[in-house]
Copies of this chain bind each other. A is one copy, B any other.
């Protein structure tokens, strides 16, 4: 459930893109990919979303298996034990999803006044 403060600008769209019967791209996977890009770590990206490492890693595996190239690449070695980053495919998928999301939000924004008029004042 979104934060009540999120509604200062009116109704919010949340979109799930079902690529086929098995693979879905939605706000959670997009946020996870973004978190990995920002933190360089699957664990840390998951933690920010209140998600266990296992859950985050399982989502990454689902995404990786659904495309010709992996979306997230783990980097081994180094004193920190390696991190993770988005591949070019990962960046493209994330950017396509965010573009779809923006257009859906615009479709909602266009009708926000009509919806508000039908609601309690």
Q: Are A16 and B18 in contact (CB under 8 A)?
A: no
Which of the 9-residue segments A4-12, A46-54, A76-84 touches chain B? A4-12
Chain B residues within 8 Å of A3, by CB: 21
A interface residues, Cβ below 8 angstroms from B: 1-4, 6-7, 11-21, 66-69, 89, 92-93, 96, 99-100, 103-104, 106-108, 111, 114-115, 118-121
**Could you list 27 examples of A-B contacts with CB < 8 Å?**
A4-B20, A6-B18, A6-B21, A7-B18, A7-B19, A7-B21, A11-B20, A12-B18, A13-B16, A13-B104, A14-B15, A14-B18, A15-B16, A17-B115, A67-B119, A68-B118, A68-B119, A68-B120, A92-B114, A96-B111, A96-B114, A96-B115, A100-B104, A100-B111, A103-B103, A103-B106, A104-B107
